[in-house]
Structure 1
Amino acid sequence: MVSLPAQSVRQVVLVNVLFVLVIVAGLFAFATIPVQVFPDISFNTAIVNTVWPGASADEIERLITTKLEEEIQEVDGIKDLVSYSRAGLSDIEIEWDETLSEVEQEASLNQLRAAVDRVNDLPEEAEEPFILELSVHEVRPSCMIAVADVGGVGEYTIREVSRDLEKRLERIPGVRKAVLRGDRERELRVYVDRDRALQADLTLPEISATIERNNQNIPAGNFLNAQSDEITVRGLGNFATPESLSATVVKKDPGGRHVTLGEVAEVVEGFENRRVSGFYNGKPAIQIGVAQKSGVDIRVLVARVRELVEDYEKGLPPGVETTVTWDSSTYIESRMALLQSNLVIGILGVVAVLWFTVGFRNALLAILAIPFSFLFALYAFPFMGMSLNSLTLIGFIMVSGMLVDHAIIIIENIYRHVEGGAELKAAIVQGTEQVMWPVIATVGTTLAAFLPMLMVSGTSGEFFALLPKAVIITLVGSLVEALIILPAHYLDWGSRRAEAHDVDEAGLRGMSHRARAAVDRSVMRLRELYLRALEPVLHHRGSFFLACCAALLFSCGLSQHVQVDLFKSDFNQFFVTVDAPIDAGIEQTAEALNAIDQTLAGFGAELTDTMSYAGMKMSGEGGPTNGVNYGVFYIQFPDTRENVAHPERIFGAVRAKMDEAAAERSDIESVQTFAPRNGPPVGKPIAIRVNSDDYEQAKRVAAELKAELATIPGVYNIEDNMPIGPRELRVRLDDHRASLHGLSFQDVGLALRATNDGLVPSTFKDPDSDEDIDIRVMVPELQRRSIADLLDVEIRAPAGHTVKLGDVAEIEVERSYQSLYHYDARRAVVVYGEVDGQQATSVSVNGEMAARFDDASQRWPGVSLIFGGEAQETERSMAELLSSLVIALIAIYAILAAQFRSYLQPVVVMSVIGFAYIGVVIGMWVLDYPITMYVFYAMIGLAGIVVNDSLVLIDFVNQGRAQGLSALDAVRESCRIRFRPILLTTVTTISGLLPMALGLGGIHPVYGPFAAGIVFGLAVASGLTLFTVPALYLILENTKARLARGLGRGPGGGVEVPVAAPGR
């Protein structure tokens, strides 16, 4: 078998060339690899969006959503089908089964397009359904720009500026699209005076039809002149100017006089009805969201956007300002700086520990594993479609302290052979080969812990998969460095015999020697203390092991007092949603927002920017929903270390002020404040779906759920997804009276829509902007303010006379729902809520509600409660993570069984995995950190990390047994020999993560708990390794001996004989 260490010392030049190639390739990759906030992932979701302006939620549901759902249900591969029918809008969300391959998902997407195309009986006024594939960049734009009217220049000006800037932004390389929010389409409005139209015996539909007939280009074929030249003939009837539209003849009166449009109507240039109004720091504004393409470096993209905006500002008209209101590149750069500072502090700690324990040269040799492994991984990232983002950075931090472990084990063992008098090359080869298989096994067990994490499915699984991928690639790089690069480097630069203690440079020799001598004395004293403490443990090993198990049970109880916040936010942003009274118009909602904006101004420099919208808010599903009585604020605060560490301070202060404003003002019905989640979109922390064929019963159950949630401390923002909408005027046709005049409901509906919302018969092309502008024929607002005005609407009967609406119909005032929700093509009700993370968590509240309503099917026959949102995703992810842990444990056991050729010794080695949980819980409780999704991943990763020390310890026990030592003597000797390496590897691993766990480089609400889990889990597990593993080993050996005697085999008869690892 080829010996890697032997080949390394023989081919030093080749090894050094390989080393340089990896370093150079890694540095090049680092300079070119895309940096992103989140990885390029698809959410396995498609959205079918259909717009029908002016339609109610009931009409949207009945005439659009239901028809589309009937066809979409036939599509293969659908996991979940939900829809939201809102006023003027139908949204159908299709989540694909995560087991589908890319080819299968594309085939299902084609089926979806075909299904939508088959629906050909949608209302004429509805726009064509639009299918959107949802990705991370659709949900979170790279940056946002506000175009604000700070000088009263008017809507037209900021609209033209916004649209021009939008076009320029979309030409930037890497920009997928730029989306405007808060702008309106221009319209040429024809306000028909009802009295003058009545005098001219004209109705609005007739005027609309006349405009349509006169605003056309008609191709008239070809014409041959006398010279046989062929000439195309076209009839041009387009309106050239608004004045030419006013001059259109709409009727010839009985006296033969032509009646023009201008005589019965006023043509006005304006905008469509306002549905959303935007404000930036209280000033009217339009916002532009910039979405990036996949694989684009967010820093480069935003820099280009900022450069464009800065240049564009120079040519802006007075009174207009452009501001980059959200820049996600600053988010990732600040997080990278935080990680970098913690990493540097950690590496310096590792260098200091190694310097004072194995010498300056050996320390440098070990430290080389860190840059080599990172650059090795960065070089591999592009081939795996990976970028440098928040997930891969966390993976780097997690593995940073482990990278030197293999080098330390090898260097320490080589040095032991050197001190024993072996020739240098022989010491390198023998020292490396002696621990090579244990080192490979330690890497194997760590990889075995992380590989199953890639099996977690769904959005969360795809999102978090980059963390274990980064760890796995980096660990492979560290193994290459330890077994191939390190032996050659030690030959050139490693410490030699007695020189090992003072080979440092002249200026450092004395200090290094004295420091190392002091450290060596301290380690020797510590080892003696440990060996003395070990004796009573070995003699009372059963009691000690039971005490450890009791500590494990205690930690399980303690975990109930540790908060769980899976997707804790670290964004310097939060949202405030506002509900004005149900019947409020958009102007009244805007006034309420203005009052809140003045309250927010009182926070001064604590808040940096506020972008607000009247006419929309963040819904319970997490996306925007429209309604003229809705409002929302996007609030940013300074991204300082203090704010990142404790965002709840500002969040809580703003929330208290908002609650005060809601209590004091009559034009504010409710205010909700919440932070964005840090992770994939998984819904609200509380989302309880009520399924029932009886919709009225589902509503009653939802009311009880809301009442119960209100009694749980820490739960707020309780709402459901069936908000009552504004008043509706419902026209009911008297069929008998209508038939007397030959009228149908279509005639009545057309006249009513023409009066209220208007008719769009044609478009007008603006010669200046080349923009197609809708021509809308309607009645002035002053003539349609009351029910009486609507009852006076004139309808043309087939016989030629006009009939008033009130003669054939009645109008009733009723209310309907603002939004209607479907799950699996059936109506359902969902109750939502937020949790404060202190008194209540998603897991605790959903668990309590499930207990309170465990008899729901008995109390309400036909009703089922589904706990969805974050809780559902958490339950699914936790189940899959648990499966990953089981698979990891089986894989680790298999590796250890192959290593030791034993069935029981892997159990001894793996015993420390459970005890690592004690440290994790203690760390979270002491530092008051929440358990996040990253902490769960850290706990699984710990399963592969903590066995490394016990693996090598048991391997040395086996070597002692193979040399004829008794079990007790072999344990004592291996504990004496391995104490220093175990202490060293543990301290170096902890040194790499301790700064982040304690926040020495800046406290972080996501990274801090993650690092603390590993630090405390590893510290406790490593400490117990030195006591629990020897004790459990002897317990098993004694048990085997008793069983052998009981079976009459005598001492050792039939007893499994451990062997040393191969390769020695």
Structure 2
Amino acid sequence: MLKRFYQNHVLANLTYALVVLLGLFAYQSLAREEFPDVNQNFMSVWIAVPGLSAEDIEQRVTLPFEQLLHARLADVKMISSTTGAGFSATLLRFNSLDRATFEKRGAELRREVQAAYATIFPKEATIYWVWGDTGSVTRSVGTVLVQGGGDPERFKVTIREVKRELERISGIEKLDYFGYSESEIHIAFHPEQLEGLGLSPLDIADTVSVYLRDEAAGPVALGDKEWLVRVVGSSNLPARLAELSIVGAHGVVKLGDIAEIVRGDNNFKPLPRSDGLPTALFSLYKKNAVDAFEVIKQVQHFIDARNAESDRTGVKLLLAEDETIRTRTAIAIMEHKAWWGLLLVLIMTWVFLGSRLAALCTLAVPFALGGTFLMLQAAGMTLNTSVLLGVMIALGMLVDYAVVVVEAIAYRIRQGMAALDAALDALREVGTPVISSFLTTIAAFLPLALLPGFLGGIMRVVPIAVTAALLAALIEALWMLPAHITALGPVLASPSRFQATRTQASRWLQVRYTRLLLSCLRHPGRAFFPALLAFSIAGAALIWGWVIVDFFPKEPTRSFSVLVKFPPGTKSDSTLPVFDEIEARIRTSLTTDELHTIVALPPEELRVYLTPNGRKLPEVLALIEPSLQQIIGPSEVSIDRQSSGGPQGAPIKAKLTGSDFLALRSAAEALQAAISKHPAFSNLHSDYLGGAPQLDLRLNGEAIQRSGVAPETVLRTIKLLVRGEVVSGYREGADSIGVRVMSKVAPFQDLNALLRQTVSRPGGGAVPLVDLVEAERREGPQMIHHYNYRRVITLEANLDAKQMNVRDANDWIAKQWQTLSAAHPEVKLDLTGEIEDIEESLGGLRHLAFLGLGLIFLILGAQYRSYLQPALILLKVPMAFAGIILGLLLSREPVSLYTLYGGVALAGITVNSAILLFSAANDRVESGMSIVHATFYAARRRLIPILITSLATMAGLFPLAVAGDESSSLWRPVATAIVWGLGFSTLLTLFVVPLIYRLAIGWAQKSTGKSA
């Protein structure tokens, strides 16, 4: 039955061709993106409460909302909030959840927000959004600018049209928008004019509110019909406003005679600008598993169509940042390295096996890759750099199984056996070791798919891709390859022109190797001493910090932000000259070929977008930063570097939590001073913006009672005099337009001018506001931050990984705080930032490494029916780790979480050669050989297969390991670790492992009197 199966080479060939063709089609159709979707499990809630201070919103919105979430929402890992004048933003991070559970928690959060809106939030509160964000770090595809001039209202209409069109693009999941706020009708009155007419601001506000109100009076029966009676106020609004009649103590006046009626918006801050033009900015995020290239193609097509009408509309669209350029470059580089790796694998197999056997071995590669891409397509995955890394890791291993099988079959054919008999006999010899090697490899790889955190999200597809490729390669090696050889038996039996030379070279290599091996077997110290020396150097490199540690190496993007802080109380309009100066200095430092565009987002940020070609971002920042620090006016200027490939934000975040702001400020200043003395930290800054000048007015009950003015009148008059009051609204198409009644006097020259404003009495006359309130001038917080339900001030800093890694930096900060904490007993330090993801990833890698080693031990124990031999084979794992450290030390690549990930995966690769060696030695011991002879002949027999499989795996990753381009910086350390680790462990396999086998198995036989 088995013979008939292997003789049916037609079935094998057709299956092979089908898988390769379907795999090729799958590869072409896979959606492209730089990284796979990373489930961050974030949700954000933004509540707008116009007119309220940060302290008021903290008490009335933020605190009760946080208490509600704490009591009713499960699986919350962290809750952080930022409260400012007019808004409250809450960010929640959930524990690692599957998508279904996360969506369930999102639905629960939305219900709680609606409940809070109905029962807790002030009536003027508006829910701007409740957003669940599972992967915005890896889904960002670009930034679109809308530049315009002329009529602001027409520009706003265009912006809304652009927003709706972008949202209709099928691959877009969400937009982040910066720019014009919602439009309003501003009714601006002169308080002195109202006082002369016997009117109060409330007369205008109440009259406008009533006239513009839409009310349903209810049904009325007329005969046998029923009519619905409505009071319609908002129709044809702009044309009627100026004609509204305002009734006062001295008669009736038209609204247009006592107030200016103009269009405006509800944002009183300066608008974004680029190239001197008003600008709206859209950050685009794609849906999961959607082709980023296709999304940006649709976006560019939309931009081109809009810009074709720019002469008529006066509006121009610009793709300020195309993140798919980096994605396209990264994928192209990985594909290029994969092709070079494949070529080196072919050369390596040709050198050792010849063109015929090498061709048979490399047939495994197209079949395995085709099967991999078919599986990825069926699972709904994308083609990204992580997938290609998995392909490159597997590339050399794809021929390993084929090399072992084909070498064993070819050996028997040359001994005179028929092709079919040689194939079956070879499979009986190497089939079990090959399957065992496959199982041990996936035992190390596949558990890594369970790795939590950011690293797990980025790398989860790697073990899946490797496992799929190796499974396909195993099927090809154990079924299709013997079937091919059975059909080509006579051809393989005849030697090629170079076969004699290759045979002589192999014998020469075996002779030299066996002489060295005999020397090691006779004098164990000659083998153990170099190994111990290498282990000692590797250990010293780790202990004394000779190896750079950078847990999350990141690839810089082609954009950055300049963050600007001004002294408390600085007017927003006065910040514009500073932004102009910053922009001018940046433009002076860069060439026109390097700079794409600059967008000013006053009063806090300026974004700079660079072209794809130009100097590297670190060079650009080193040129710009000193110039920006010389600018006069801001209290602080810092640069936020944008990057990809790791958690976003500063690597160092020290959070000081407490309840008293003065204590928090004092502690933050002390810790900031301590951190600033260490040269490893840079761009150190605090999120505390400083106290904003604040005027607190308290109603004087006795004075108000004597004046005869209602307290509500005083309160509403103050609001109308300062920012105004939205009294009504109407709709223009799909847009909501508010109507705001406000004073024309503001801004006031001083606070006394505000307090001299009057409040109208019901019977006529007026009383100064200063007589009705108690005024207190003080500083109030501009922003109030909470972290896990407590007030917090956060210190952020960048870190020079060459001087200190993130874990050591956090430990150093913790020690500094120990010396400072006695002076600040009410304040606690909480270290967050990258360290959270690092600790989560390190813990996961540690557990999964033990799981993988346990599974390998289980598989080998079942194969050898021994406790000793699996333990001996697993000694290769520390050998490989020593090789990794030595390789990183020589190559000056950093130890990162990605490197450690590669090291854990290497555990499954490095034991394969030892399995081949032990299996061959055991067969010879069972046939009656002594331990010494069995060890010697097994090592000589397995020399060539071990060299081929190890060198082929190293060759597949070698182009990536030596890549010098910036786009390879994330994955290059992984390739370097595997190449060096596998190379070092292979040397030890050839010389130390046979010695360990002879000593350990010999000792076991003497102790038990039987084979171990």
* Band the TM-score falls in, shorter-chain normalisation: over 0.9
Amino acid at match of 2:517: L
Structure 1 residues 102 and 239, CA, compared in 2 at 3 Å: closer, same or farther? closer
Q: Distance in 2 between matches of 1:190 and 1:429?
A: 94
1:657 equivalent to 2:624? Answer yes
Give yes or no for contact 2:555–2:967 (8 Å, CA) kept in 1: no
Give yes or no for contact 2:243–2:254 (8 Å, CA) kept in 1: yes
3-state SS, counterpart of residue 620 of structure 2: helix
Q: Distance in 2 between matches of 1:1024 and 1:138?
A: 42
3-state SS, counterpart of residue 240 of structure 2: helix
Give yes or no for contact 1:251–1:259 (8 Å, CA) kept in 2: yes
- Residue matched to 2:1011: 1057
- Residue matched to 2:191: 194
Q: What is the deviation of 1:492?
A: 3.1
Q: What is the deviation of 1:874?
A: 0.3
Q: What is the deviation of 1:483?
A: 1.5
Q: What is the deviation of 1:1024?
A: 1.6
Kindly provide the CA deviation profile for residues 837-878 of structure 1, in whole angstroms up to 9, marking residues without a partner as x: 332332231132234445676675565433211012201210
Q: Distance in 1 between matches of 2:14 and 2:905?
A: 33
Q: Which residues of 2 match residues 801-840 of structure 1 at below 5 A?
A: 801-840=765-804
Q: Which runs of 5+ in 1 are unaligned?
A: 503-512, 616-627, 1042-1051, 1059-1064
3-state SS, counterpart of residue 642 of structure 2: coil
Give yes or no for contact 2:670–2:820 (8 Å, CA) kept in 1: no
Q: What is the deviation of 1:243?
A: 4.2
Kindly provide the CA deviation profile for residues 465-506 of structure 1, in whole angstroms up to 9, marking residues without a partner as x: 22222222222222122222222222334674542x42xxxx
Q: What is the deviation of 1:833?
A: 1.3
Q: What is the deviation of 1:744?
A: 6.7
Q: Distance in 1 between matches of 2:960 and 2:859?
A: 32
1:905 equivalent to 2:869? Answer yes
1:425 equivalent to 2:420? Answer yes
Structure 1 residues 281 and 1026, CA, compared in 2 at 3 Å: closer, same or farther? farther
- Residue matched to 2:940: 976
Q: What is the deviation of 1:283?
A: 4.2
Q: Distance in 2 between matches of 1:848 and 1:1035?
A: 47
- Residue matched to 2:570: 584
1:967 equivalent to 2:931? Answer yes
Amino acid at match of 1:533: L
Q: Distance in 2 between matches of 1:575 and 1:994?
A: 33
Give yes or no for contact 1:555–1:918 (8 Å, CA) kept in 2: yes
Q: What is the deviation of 1:106?
A: 4.5
1:246 equivalent to 2:242? Answer yes
Match of 1:1005 among 938, 957, 969: 969
Give yes or no for contact 1:606–1:638 (8 Å, CA) kept in 2: no
Structure 1 residues 685 and 192, CA, compared in 2 at 3 Å: closer, same or farther? same
- Residue matched to 2:331: 336
- Residue matched to 1:136: 135
Q: Give the fraction of aligned pairs with identical amino acids, expressed as a percent.
A: 25
Q: Distance in 2 between matches of 1:1054 and 1:783?
A: 97
Amino acid at match of 2:841: S
Give yes or no for contact 1:574–1:674 (8 Å, CA) kept in 2: no
1:572 equivalent to 2:557? Answer yes
Q: Distance in 2 between matches of 1:930 and 1:494?
A: 50
Deviation larger for 295-304 or 533-542: 533-542
Q: What is the deviation of 1:376?
A: 0.9
- Residue matched to 1:510: none
- Residue matched to 2:407: 412
Q: What is the deviation of 1:740?
A: 2.7
How does the TM-score come out when normalised to structure 1?
Answer: 0.89
3-state SS, counterpart of residue 606 of structure 2: strand
- Residue matched to 1:614: 601
Amino acid at match of 1:260: K
Q: What is the deviation of 1:221?
A: 5.0
Match of 1:790 among 738, 754, 779: 754
3-state SS, counterpart of residue 246 of structure 2: strand
3-state SS, counterpart of residue 40 of structure 1: coil
1:237 equivalent to 2:223? Answer no
Match of 1:842 among 806, 824, 828: 806
Q: Distance in 2 between matches of 1:910 and 1:437?
A: 18
Kindly provide the CA deviation profile for residues 402-449 of structure 1, in whole angstroms up to 9, marking residues without a partner as x: 111111111111111111111011111221332111111111111111
Match of 2:922 among 958, 969, 972: 958
Deviation larger for 824-833 or 429-438: 824-833
Q: Which residues of 2 match residues 654-1053 of structure 1 at below 5 A?
A: 654-663=621-630, 665-679=631-645, 681=647, 683-692=649-658, 696-741=662-707, 746-766=712-732, 771-780=735-744, 784-797=748-761, 801-853=765-817, 861=825, 863-999=827-963, 1004-1040=968-1004, 1052=1006
3-state SS, counterpart of residue 73 of structure 1: helix
Give yes or no for contact 1:278–1:613 (8 Å, CA) kept in 2: yes
- Residue matched to 2:383: 388
Q: What is the deviation of 1:1056?
A: 5.0
1:266 equivalent to 2:260? Answer yes
Q: What is the deviation of 1:898?
A: 1.5
- Residue matched to 1:42: 39
- Residue matched to 2:610: 636
Structure 1 residues 534 and 1003, CA, compared in 2 at 3 Å: closer, same or farther? farther
- Residue matched to 1:148: 147
Q: Distance in 2 between matches of 1:800 and 1:11?
A: 109
Structure 1 residues 993 and 123, CA, compared in 2 at 3 Å: closer, same or farther? same
Kindly provide the CA deviation profile for residues 288-342 of structure 1, in whole angstroms up to 9, marking residues without a partner as x: 2233223321112211221122122111236532121222322222111101111
Amino acid at match of 1:723: L
Give yes or no for contact 2:551–2:805 (8 Å, CA) kept in 1: no
1:290 equivalent to 2:273? Answer no
Q: Distance in 2 between matches of 1:994 and 1:1003?
A: 16
- Residue matched to 1:116: 113
Match of 2:548 among 529, 554, 563: 563
3-state SS, counterpart of residue 120 of structure 2: coil
Give yes or no for contact 2:191–2:745 (8 Å, CA) kept in 1: no
Structure 1 residues 853 and 522, CA, compared in 2 at 3 Å: closer, same or farther? farther
Structure 1 residues 224 and 1036, CA, compared in 2 at 3 Å: closer, same or farther? closer
3-state SS, counterpart of residue 644 of structure 2: coil
- Residue matched to 1:1061: none
Q: Which runs of 5+ in 2 are unaligned?
A: none
Amino acid at match of 1:1037: I
3-state SS, counterpart of residue 311 of structure 2: coil
Amino acid at match of 2:90: I
Q: Distance in 1 between matches of 2:9 and 2:578?
A: 75
3-state SS, counterpart of residue 143 of structure 2: strand
Q: Distance in 2 between matches of 1:708 and 1:104?
A: 43
Give yes or no for contact 1:756–1:784 (8 Å, CA) kept in 2: no
3-state SS, counterpart of residue 752 of structure 1: helix
Q: Distance in 2 between matches of 1:839 and 1:467?
A: 31
The alignment covers a number of residue pairs equal to: 1004
3-state SS, counterpart of residue 827 of structure 1: strand
- Residue matched to 1:360: 355
3-state SS, counterpart of residue 873 of structure 2: helix
Q: Which residues of 2 match residues 483-502 of structure 1 at below 5 A?
A: 483-493=478-488, 496-499=491-494, 501-502=495-496
Q: Distance in 1 between matches of 2:849 and 2:1001?
A: 28
Give yes or no for contact 1:159–1:286 (8 Å, CA) kept in 2: no
3-state SS, counterpart of residue 815 of structure 1: strand
Kindly provide the CA deviation profile for residues 51-78 of structure 1, in whole angstroms up to 9, marking residues without a partner as x: 1233322122111010101111112222
Match of 2:29 among 9, 29, 32: 32
Amino acid at match of 1:38: F
Give yes or no for contact 1:50–1:90 (8 Å, CA) kept in 2: yes
1:599 equivalent to 2:573? Answer no
Structure 1 residues 527 and 612, CA, compared in 2 at 3 Å: closer, same or farther? farther
- Residue matched to 1:326: 321
Q: What is the deviation of 1:826?
A: 2.0
3-state SS, counterpart of residue 35 of structure 2: coil
Q: Distance in 2 between matches of 1:76 and 1:91?
A: 20
Q: Distance in 1 between matches of 2:263 and 2:393?
A: 62
Q: What is the deviation of 1:225?
A: 7.4
Q: What is the deviation of 1:971?
A: 1.4
Q: Distance in 2 between matches of 1:396 and 1:717?
A: 39
Give yes or no for contact 1:574–1:651 (8 Å, CA) kept in 2: no
- Residue matched to 1:531: 514
Structure 1 residues 570 and 1003, CA, compared in 2 at 3 Å: closer, same or farther? closer
- Residue matched to 1:540: 523
Structure 1 residues 858 and 1038, CA, compared in 2 at 3 Å: closer, same or farther? farther
